[in-house]
Amino acid sequence: MTASERYEGRQRADIAAGISAESVGARRLCMHLVTIPPGARGEIHLHQDHESALFILEGSAVTRYGPGLAYQAMAEAGDFVYIPAGMAHQAVNLSATEPVRAVLARTDPSEQESVVLLTSDGHPRP
């Protein structure tokens, strides 16, 4: 299987579709390649009832997370990132010139179904 189908996710990341309910009939897992363009930041969001894990292939990013996005964690090529279910978070590419590329896995087989966009004060967006 190749990651030939690309789309922009609700969280404003470029996603190359991989393993999902839609692509192979997965029932409890999705796995994609995600790219955050230089200088970009994703939308503040959470995944209800689903854990996420990333392996950073290239670039460096900061993930802002928690209530009010009060915490942050740096990640660069070779690092793993874990995001618990229901945790508000936002990824930010720190480079003005290089993309961040990562393998993303989530316990939601329909990758975009559990994405809940949030306002800056943590409330669900309409």
Q: pLDDT digit string (tens) for 10-69?
A: 565 667 778 888 889 999 999 999 999 999 998 999 988 899 999 999 999 999 999 999
Q: Distance between CA atoms of 107 and 123, rounded to whole angstroms?
A: 23
Average confidence score pLDDT of the chain: 87
Nearest to 110 by CA among 33, 35, 42, 31: 31
| 33 and 39 Cβ atoms separated by less than 8 Å | no
Residue 92 has pLDDT above 90, yes or no: yes
pTM here? 0.82
**Cα–chain-centroid distance for residue 80?**
13
Class of domain 11-103: mainly beta
